[in-house]
Amino acid sequence: MTLILKRSSALFLALLLSACSTTDTSNRLTVEPPSESQIKSSVKDQVSMMLNAFTPVAGQALPNNTVLATYAERGYQPIWIKDKHIEPSIYKLVSILEQANSHGLNPVHYHVGIIKHYLALKAPSKQQLAEMDVITTIALSSYAHDISNGRYEPQLIDPNWQLDAPSRDWKDLLSLSNASAMVDSLPLLAPRSPEYQVLQKWLVYYQQLAKKEKDIYVQPGAPLSIGDEGPRVSQLRARLVQLGDIRFSTRKVDEDRFDKKLKVALQGFQHRHHLSADGAAGSKTIQMLNVPLKQRAKEIAYNLERWRWLPNKLEANRIWVDLTNYSVDTYLNGNRTTMKTVVGKEDRMTPVFKGTMTYMVANPSWRIPHRIARESLLPKLQADPNYLGKHGFRVFSSWSIGAKELDPTRINWKSIAPENLSFRFEQIPDEDNALGEFKFMFPNKNDIYLHDTPAKYLFRRDQRAFSSGCIRLENAEAFAKNITNNSPQAKVLASAIKSKQTKVITLPTYIPVYIVYFTVVPNANGMPEFRDDIYHRDALMERAMGYQAFPVKAPL
């Protein structure tokens, strides 16, 4: 990718130098500007050439075909030139593009330096005006696309990220009647979620803070707790002020003394970094305190891009599985309920995607997936041939309909290699069933679903990545009652719970299910909450984006 980016930058520079060294000096220096018909003719000549020059780079999504269609629909009339004058809105656009870093985007990608060069020309020729018009429209459309849909293709970054909900609103912007309306509509394309807007403000805060101040570091050493005194306590206090956990106050305090207010502020910091909130600054807390501001700005930027991969507007009724928070939020009829979850472990990570929950199964049997049978069940059988009987499993000769049930004690499990295992295993509905009493289905290619579990002790742990990919619920019965509440299916559910019989129950209303992954979110107090990157997805974002979280000087 680095080589491609370098070639792209060189191309931009060559294009700019070509514009600077136009040989048509008589046109360039003439007092009378070119006519609109001359500019229109030049735009038609330039548009294809310029679009070919500004080609997509690696995983970036530059919507050039839309630019071509836009000019064709307008009869190749210039967008940024009217009545022989450059539209004032172009300067507003340049200002917006220069601040692209406030959304975690890089201004260099929107050709700000090149546009400003054209604007600085004293007497541009018709070709230069046409070039400026096309490049500015490319910049507008690219930014409009990126701010609404994200700049990068998620599955090119991470194959397990399968949630991408592109919006067409940015294309509608190019259909507006004039440049001023297009530019004024740009801010409306950013995600409307409060979470995005709060994170975007914190990104700006970290950028500005890192520009004005140096990081205040807490020197490693013995844990600091209430009653301690010394320069390290002063460093701790100053860092918490810098990060916003202590509001600046004119009230005089003993900066070197660890008092109750400092403990409360430190507990707030620990809560929003998913640390044990004991109010003492141990090695893990100090490590988190000392993460540089620039690194935090990068992490926020990655999560803003993730928000842009989601629909611009979310459904009022939805199920929101938050992988890094190990939780599921159910939004139904204006109410929100939350419970803990267990998610996929690192080597069997739960993918990110959207589905639609259509039915549930009460008292389900569990048909063991091939991979789990090979990797987990077979070794247990080889160690204990009676394992299936002890845990309520049945074994069938194949995955075919009507396959014959076999006696597991007559099979030589030790002689079977994992790659040759072709039996079908099913666990009968009982209290030891791995699916518990319920499973909730939103059909998808990953064979992922929500379900109950007999292993309730795992919900007492803070880190809960223990499953083989599916999502286990802390209180599946309460979840089932919630999604069938005040419907005829509620009676069917109650009957199934009482009878302990397997029952498929169609939901009264189908519910969108989002399985999402964020490493930074705003907490209830509006502060940024930094979470463990349990699947190491931020590293993938950094490699793909080559991201710089701070303003970059555009090439001149």
358 with 371, same domain? no
Residue 18 banded pLDDT, cuts 50, 70, 90: very low
Tell me: do 64 and 143 sit in the same domain.
yes
CATH number, domain of 266, equals 1.10.101.10
CA 303/CA 203 separation, integer angstroms: 10
240 and 349 belong to one structural domain: no
Give alpha helix (H) positions in 229-384.
231-243, 260-271, 283-289, 293-308, 370-372, 378-383
Residue 522 covered by a domain: no
In a domain, 15, yes or no: yes
Q: Count the neighbouring beta carbons within 10 Å of the beta carbon of residue 166.
A: 15
Least confidently predicted of 5-9, 172-176, 400-404, 546-550 = 5-9
Inside any domain, residue 461: yes
Are 175 and 43 part of one and the same domain? yes
Residues 18 and 61 in one domain: yes
Q: Can you give the pLDDT at residue 545? A: 81
Radius of gyration, alpha carbons of the chain: 30
Note the pLDDT tens digit of each residue in 343-370.
Answer: 999 999 999 999 999 999 999 998 888 8
Same domain, 129 and 22: yes
How many structural domains are present in the chain?
Answer: 4
Of 229, 259, 291, the position where a domain reaches its end is 291
Same domain, 328 and 371: no
Q: Cα–Cα distances in Å, from 413 out to 132, 277, 397?
A: 72, 48, 14
Q: Give the model's pLDDT for residue 19.
A: 42
What is the pLDDT averaged over residues 508-522?
Answer: 97
Integer Cα distance of 443 and 440 in angstroms: 10
Asked if the structure places residue 445 within a domain, the reply is yes
Q: Measured at the alpha carbon of residue 315, what is the angle toward residues 314 and 316, in degrees to the nearest 5? A: 115
Name the 3-class secondary structure at 328: strand
- On whether residue 208 sits in a domain, the answer given is no
**Which listed residue (109, 111, 117, 470) is catalytic?**
470
Neighbours of 431 (CB within 10 A): 9
Q: Are residues 163 and 41 in the same domain?
A: yes
Is residue 175 domain-shared with residue 229, that is, in the same domain? no
Query: In this model, does residue 41 exceed pLDDT 80?
Result: no
Strand duo 353-362 + 503-516: pairing:
antiparallel
Domain membership flag for residue 149? yes
The answer to whether residue 231 sits within a structural domain is: yes
Tell me how far apart the alpha carbons of residues 160 and 227 are, in angstroms, rounded to a whole number. Answer: 48
Q: Which of 85, 274, 451, 536 is catalytic?
A: 451
State CA 250 to chain mean position distance.
39
> With contact defined as beta carbons under 8 Å apart, do 358 and 506 qualify?
yes
Active site residue 470: yes
Q: Of 5-9, 37-41, 427-431, which has the strongest mean pLDDT? A: 427-431
Q: Mean per-residue pLDDT for 391-398?
A: 91
- Asked if the model's pLDDT at residue 203 lies above 90, the reply is yes
- Of the pLDDT bands very low, low, confident and very high (cuts 50, 70, 90), residue 391 is confident
Query: How high is the pLDDT of residue 31?
Result: 40
Mean pLDDT of 389-402: 90
Quick check: is 497 in a domain? yes
> Residue 367's beta-bridge partner residues?
426
Examine the domain organization and report whether 147 and 248 are in the same domain.
Answer: no
Q: Please confirm, yes or no, whether 20 is among the known catalytic residues.
A: no
CA 471/CA 321 separation, integer angstroms: 8
Average pLDDT over all residues of the chain: 87
Domain that holds residue 37: 2-190
Q: Do residues 392 and 468 share a domain?
A: no
pLDDT band at 383 (very low <50, low <70, confident <90, very high): very high
pLDDT of residue 26 exceeding 70, the answer is no
Residues 13 and 36 in one domain: yes
pTM over 0.95: no
